[in-house]
Structures are given as C-alpha cells and as structure tokens.
C-alpha cells in the first residue's frame, strides 16, 4: 500500500464550480500535512498546510481527519488559473522526508 493515496482524476470542471480532492495516508504517526500545487512541467509549490482544526485560505479549504487518516482540499469558485496537479503531502515519520501522493489533475474550463 502506498503511503499517500489520491484519486488521480482528471477532474474537469467549469469555471465557478466547487471541487473537492481527497487523500488518505497510511502512517498514523504522521504529524505534518500539506497540499502542493504543480503546474505542467514546473516545480511543486506549497499551496497550504493542513491543520487538525481545518484551515482556509481564500477560496481554498483544507481539512484533516486524523482518526480516518484522511485529508481533503476544497476549491470554491474555480478559476481557469486553478488548472494544475494538486499533490497531497505527508511527512515521513520518523524522518525528514515528505511523502507525496501521485497528484490529482484539475482542469477548469470556460
């Protein structure tokens, strides 16, 4: 079983739609959780950290359920510029490395 699993998609949604991505992780000792965004042929960039209480950054909301080992990302009012691959990331415990999921591809269409 992979340490971080995501639905690869692709998710094709119209502008203005709300879309949700899910992710599960296998290591119950993991402490740090993130969503990264990766544009085509570009490097990954941190989108947001994910906290147990849930957190929001503009149109983006991240949730963490430690009991279910489940992480989600909700994007409201999708923009064309949101088209990218969204990577679920969990720290490796013990250790310093980050474990990345395969990524979920999002395409927002006019």
Partner 1 sequence: DTGVSQNPRHKITKRGQNVTFRCDPISEHNRLYWYRQTLGQGPEFLTYFQNEAQLEKSRLLSDRFSAERPKGSFSTLEIQRTEQGDSAMYLCASSPPGQGKAYTEAFFGQGTRLTVV
Q: For binding to partner 1 (CB under 8 A), which residues are involved?
A: 4, 8, 31-32, 42-46, 87, 89, 91-92, 94-103
User: Rounded to the nearest whole angstrom, what is the least distance from the CB of residue 33 to partner 1 in the complex?
Assistant: 10
User: Rounded to the nearest whole angstrom, what is the least distance from the CB of residue 93 to partner 1 in the complex?
Assistant: 8
Cβ atoms of residues 5 and 101 within 8 Å: yes
User: Rounded to the nearest whole angstrom, what is the least distance from the CB of residue 57 to partner 1 in the complex?
Assistant: 14
Nearest to residue 48, comparing CAs of 68, 28, 32?
32
Q: How far, in Å, CA of 15 to CA of 79, rounded?
A: 5
DSSP state at residue 74: E
Instruction: State how far the alpha carbon of 47 is from the alpha carbons of 58, 63, 110, in Å.
Output: 11, 14, 23
**Between 14 and 96, CB nearer to partner 1:** 96
Cβ atoms of residues 86 and 103 within 8 Å: yes
**Between 95 and 110, CB nearer to partner 1:** 95
**Between 14 and 95, CB nearer to partner 1:** 95
Q: How far, in Å, CA of 110 to CA of 108, rounded?
A: 7
User: Rounded to the nearest whole angstrom, what is the least distance from the CB of residue 60 to partner 1 in the complex?
Assistant: 16
**Between 3 and 74, CB nearer to partner 1:** 3
């Amino acid at each position: 079983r992979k340490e971080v699993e995501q639905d690869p998609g692709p998710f094709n949604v119209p502008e203005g739609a709300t879309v949700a991505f899910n992710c599960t992780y296998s290591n119950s000792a993991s402490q740090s959780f993130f969503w990264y965004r990766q544009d085509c042929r570009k490097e990954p960039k941190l989108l947001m950290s994910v906290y147990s209480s849930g957190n929001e950054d503009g149109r983006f909301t991240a949730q963490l359920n430690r009991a279910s080992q489940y992480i989600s990302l909700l994007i409201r009012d999708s923009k064309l510029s949101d088209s990218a691959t969204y990577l679920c990331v969990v720290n490796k415990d013990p250790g310093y490395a980050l474990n990345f999921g395969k990524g979920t591809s999002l395409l927002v269409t006019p």
